[in-house]
């Protein structure tokens, strides 16, 4: 809720634009991080915390923050689609650093308590891959696994697994095989080559069939030429992250690529 509140304050859609804040963070300086940690929350050494709700309005209104939040950071909520300034970059860097501070404290306390070598993460904050990287690098955990649908949608999968294991007693049920290294992320529909060809022909769309070895080289050639490539392979991922089955690829070296 803290990260979403800052997402709202910076003019992005809650439960949708949080990844944009994570992307903006490297362009800023976390000069507001201490202010966030000291004024917006009561943070303990073990990573547990409570938000100081006098700055937030999401429990009782359709907006995330109130006038006290505005005063704390010296301005009103940014209007969506307006030009981003260094202030927005700095606020993004600050909320990212604050969240990383909380996550690292939690992870270190958890390891000290359990002495386990492996950590499994779920929940919306577990989609913050920058924080996850710091957990892997800077805590004693040797292996970190993130549920592919780590946000609220993954709760449905958790309920299904609970019923399968605890209610029905099917503890050795088969898991997906093949390309799914996570054994549970490629749960969506897949289509055979003949089905794909039939669909293309029914719409009179031109196509060329390449061998498996030709596809990477052709893809790289198209990307280097400024083209955008839709990557469609195997079963669809379950969750909000592209895991190699459904992706839109573009050359990040091009300043115009996002506009295209």
Q: Note the pLDDT tens digit of each residue in 52-108.
A: 999 999 999 999 999 999 999 999 999 999 999 999 999 999 999 999 999 999 999
Query: Residue 141: CB partners within 8 Å, gap ≥ 6?
Result: 107, 111, 116, 117, 118, 119, 135
Q: The pTM is what?
A: 0.83
Residue 173 has pLDDT above 70, yes or no: no
Whether the CA torsion 35, 41, 241, 174 is positive or negative: it is: positive
Question: What is the spatial distance between Cα 190 and Cα 197, in angstroms, rounded to a whole number?
Answer: 14
103 three-class SS? helix
Residue 177 has pLDDT above 70, yes or no: no
Query: Residue range 128-139: average pLDDT?
Result: 96
**Which domains are present in the chain?**
2-112 (no CATH), 179-260 (3.90.870.20)
Could you tell me where the beta strands, DSSP code E, fall in the chain? Answer: 41-43, 49-51, 118-121, 143-146, 229-232, 246-249
Q: Note the pLDDT tens digit of each residue in 188-238.
A: 999 999 999 999 999 999 999 999 899 999 999 999 999 999 999 999 998
Tokens of 11: 């003019």
pLDDT attached to residue 141: 97
pLDDT-derived band at 254, boundaries 50, 70, 90: confident
pLDDT attached to residue 174: 60
pLDDT attached to residue 38: 97
pLDDT attached to residue 113: 97
Query: Residue 20: CB partners within 8 Å, gap ≥ 6?
Result: 7, 12
pLDDT attached to residue 29: 98
143 three-class SS? strand
pLDDT-derived band at 176, boundaries 50, 70, 90: low
Q: Look over the chain and give the mean of its residue pLDDT values, rounded to a whole number.
A: 92
Angstrom CA distances, 184 to 80, 123, 125, 180, stand at 37, 16, 20, 7
Angstrom CA distances, 179 to 37, 135, 244, stand at 42, 26, 10
Query: Residue range 21-35: average pLDDT?
Result: 96
DSSP 109-135: HHHHHH--SEEEE-SGGGG-HHHHHHH
pLDDT-derived band at 175, boundaries 50, 70, 90: low
Q: Note the pLDDT tens digit of each residue in 62-77.
A: 999 999 999 999 999 9
Question: What is the spatial distance between Cα 102 and Cα 3, in angstroms, rounded to a whole number?
Answer: 12
């Amino acid at each position: 809720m803290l990260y979403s509140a800052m997402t709202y304050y910076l003019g992005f859609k809650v439960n949708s634009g949080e990844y944009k804040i994570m992307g903006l963070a490297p362009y800023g300086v976390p000069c507001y991080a201490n202010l966030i940690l000291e004024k917006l929350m009561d943070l303990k050494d073990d990573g547990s915390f409570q938000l100081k709700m006098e700055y937030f309005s999401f429990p009782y209104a359709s907006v995330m923050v109130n006038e006290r939040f505005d005063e704390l950071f010296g301005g009103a909520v940014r209007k969506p689609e307006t030009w981003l300034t260094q202030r927005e970059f700095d606020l993004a860097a600050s909320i990212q650093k604050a969240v990383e501070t909380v996550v690292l404290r939690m992870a270190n306390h958890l390891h000290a308590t359990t002495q386990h070598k492996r950590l499994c993460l779920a929940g919306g904050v577990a989609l913050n891959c920058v924080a996850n990287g710091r957990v892997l690098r800077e805590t004693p955990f040797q292996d970190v696994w993130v549920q592919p649908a780590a946000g609220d949608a993954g709760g449905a999968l958790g309920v299904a697994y609970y019923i399968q294991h605890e209610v029905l007693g099917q503890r050795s049920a088969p898991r997906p095989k093949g390309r799914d290294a996570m054994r549970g992320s490629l749960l969506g529909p897949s289509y055979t080559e003949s089905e794909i060809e039939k669909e293309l022909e029914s719409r009179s769309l031109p196509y060329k069939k390449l061998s498996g070895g030709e596809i990477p080289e052709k893809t790289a050639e198209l990307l280097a030429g400024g083209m955008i490539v839709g990557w469609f392979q195997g079963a669809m991922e379950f969750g909000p992250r592209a895991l190699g089955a459904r992706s839109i690829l573009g050359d990040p070296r091009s300043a115009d690529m996002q506009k295209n």
